[in-house]
Chains A and B, each alone.
Chain A
């Protein structure tokens, strides 16, 4: 495999960086060359964020070019839409459908689009496949909202032709979360897998 590109999007503080890091280590363990590109500093403070995960035999820059992402993992629907131009034609998006409303929307200075509108852009304009579900709810089922990120990574491992082995990724999560939180995260991981399988009819 020459290269596989993932973009991860969301709101600063949601765990976008952690997710990228986990996937990066899993790819490294799988023997690939790896590049991650991430946002630090002020840009992280509850603003819109995008991280890049690239791996394969031939990867160079840390940013995925527009139109080149095999898949997008998004922690928030509007933040998925904001970066839709990164997806390649026929790409896939795994998205947490729970919105985080920006202050500007609450102040009445902007409007938050409906989930249907967002999905339509992905499916009709960008010919992408949409896998959307409320990952936060599943994380709560697993024990705590902080595992939302594990739910989403679990979901990601189930999409067709995803090059990393789910069990491989699971192992990385196991050693990267605090020992007390391992069980909860494993449960979250499984819930993410289950949700995606159901949507894909697997």
Chain B
């Protein structure tokens, strides 16, 4: 099991390796001779960016962790304008952030190949909504490629660059959680010489204001040009190697299935033992190539479209069929759910129903059996790690506000502060929104300090936001709050890393994949912007954190507290690698009164309740030694074990 970073760079064409979908895409980009890569991490896209960060130096590729998706998009786009092959990646909601540039620049096209990887998250395993990027693609008239397997993801990446370059158009490579986070066998291809020789490639931007200056007089030419391009691409995709017809040629039943759905359909058909069917496998759900449809529909009487989420393919096929006056039954969303992710079970169920068959497993019976199990199951949602500094920040905030404030929060590990016992997250909407919402809440309830009238009762608002999120989209919101003089406390939970997506650096760390960049301390930004109160605390010191929050709440206007302590998971990971030890706490049985404060108010997952002794206990394998429990316990029952005791 070699290191993935090595495998992605292996000069061993033909070798079969096991790669994560996202890593396979990174390899594909290298095989395509990519020059510039820029992205902001977002699950499920992050490993692509992390892999590029690790291999970029050795491959002569410029790579950056950008502060948000829009600037990442612009960085890569400008490189593509300069004739280089460039790529950016994001999660589905990230495309909303980049949408402004995306929608406007698409008409300008590119010179070098430009691939936008967007990872959707059907069923929302770690996202705030379930949006289908293929709808965006259609909206923008940009072709979208969708792989079925990690190997195909790699191959498609190369093809995406070629397609983009050929038509000088954007191309979206769309994955879902189950392609990005599936591992599968991948056959390595050739690496270009420039990558092997780690040659950094530089481009040249040729000025052309009629193309790159988006004033109405120019833009007016873009839209018809885009429409013309997309129809040409539709034509081209008849020959796309990732679109094909398979199965029984003279079958009466057909199934159309894009991307990963194809895998589920194949599995379902094998499971049901059905061979008498023709399949149209689509690697390009938009635009659907009409020539292939023409060929596929020959001799068919009934067609089922199996696709996840929105009926993107279905609408194209039905429109085409209507125009052709086809008298063929086409079913889709009547049988295939429009919400949540596709599974083999769903595919089997839909196909069985379509054909009037029984499913091979009686799922309803299985569900009934499982219903009886459910009441036995205690919930186990994800939680803030042991020793997580956020727990202390929330604990201090809640105590200082006597749980009476409104707590808008943001996107990051700290969203987990919503769970009991902390319950200090009242809203989360989108990246950077906590400050905007906090400002709005205060304006709605208290009014602005620059207004003549103020609200009758002061409603305290404490917004929390992470360091990476602060730099992502918190900055404009902070400027807005300060400028418009609302009354909010913003606590920036600065754990010096983008923890939720896998420890990527950001301006608060200053680290870049190439060495030290320039560190931007959050408190300096807050001061420069004119915040009315700025302080930095260490949340591992709960008392000072609590007192500082109290102090900030007395200040009128926008206060910013930077609560800085490195992410516990990150720290422990590094200590483990270095073979270092940390103190482990235990409960002194003589002192624990069984008050449960450590459990009911603080909630470190390493602390559990001993039913027999009616006391708290620490699970030693889970304790990461922050000493928070010792500060929270009113009876001093938590003590570090002495050396050699653990």
Contact = CB atoms under 8 A, between A and B. Distances in A.
A41 B182 contact: no
Nearest to B600: A107
Given A61-B260, A125-B372, A110 B1 contact: no
A182 interface: no
Interface string A65-76: 111100000000
Contacts of B361: 65-68
A96 to B, nearest CB: 12
A81 B376 CA distance: 9
Contacts of A145: 621
Nearest to A82: B377
B108 to A, nearest CB: 34
A152 to B, nearest CB: 15
Contacts of A109: 420
A45 B500 CA distance: 9
Tell which of A40, A81, A107, A108 has the most Cβ of chain B within 10 Å: A40
Given A40-B126, A46-B385, A85 B609 contact: no
Interface stretch (A29-37, A158-166, A183-191, A192-200): A29-37
A84 interface: yes
A111 B378 contact: yes
A193 to B, nearest CB: 20
Contacts of A101: 608-609, 619
B619 A85 contact: no
Contact of A176 (B1, B385, B413): B1
Contacts of B382: 12, 42-47
B183 A62 contact: yes
A106 B599 contact: yes
Contacts of B619: 100-101
Contact of A36 (B182, B376, B377): B182
Interface stretch (B68-76, B130-138, B263-271): B263-271
A84 B367 CA distance: 11
Interface string A113-154: 100011001000110000000001000000001000000000
Contacts of B402: none
Interface residues of B, number: 69
A117 B376 contact: yes
A60 B266 contact: yes
A36 B23 CA distance: 14
A78 B372 CA distance: 14
B379 interface: yes
Contact of A103 (B17, B262, B605): B605
Interface string B238-269: 00000000000000000000001011101100
B379 A81 contact: no
A19 interface: no
B366 A37 contact: no
A103 B603 contact: yes
Contacts of B2: 175
Interface string B611-646: 000000001011000000000000000000000000
B437 interface: no
Contacts of A126: 369
B495 to A, nearest CB: 13
Interface string B501-513: 1100000000000
A166 B637 CA distance: 47
Contacts of B17: 28
B640 to A, nearest CB: 19
Interface residues of A, number: 65
A13 B623 CA distance: 13
B178 interface: yes
B412 to A, nearest CB: 9
B404 interface: no
Contacts of B66: none
B436 interface: no
Contacts of B440: none
Contacts of B226: none
B16 interface: yes
Contacts of A37: 178, 181-183
B185 interface: yes
B376 to A, nearest CB: 5
B370 interface: yes
B266 A81 contact: no
B415 interface: yes
Given A34-B185, A42-B416, A45-B385, A22 B18 contact: no
Given A60-B267, A125-B373, A85 B366 contact: yes
A89 to B, nearest CB: 9
B337 interface: no
A35 B348 CA distance: 19
Interface string A9-28: 00111000000111011001
A107 B377 CA distance: 15
Nearest to A145: B621
Tell which of A22, A42, A48, A101 has the most Cβ of chain B within 10 Å: A42
A48 B373 contact: no
B96 interface: no
Contacts of A62: 178, 181-184
A107 B607 CA distance: 10
B416 A107 contact: no
A172 B501 CA distance: 27
A176 B376 CA distance: 37
Contacts of B44: 40-41
Contact of B1 (A48, A102, A175, A180): A175
A78 to B, nearest CB: 6
B345 A28 contact: no
Tell which of A33, A47, A62 has the most Cβ of chain B within 10 Å: A62
Nearest to A110: B378
A90 B380 CA distance: 27
8 contacts: A28-B18, A36-B183, A78-B378, A82-B377, A85-B370, A102-B378, A104-B379, A106-B609
Given A41-B44, A66-B345, A110-B379, 5 more contacts: A13-B385, A24-B183, A40-B502, A47-B381, A61-B343
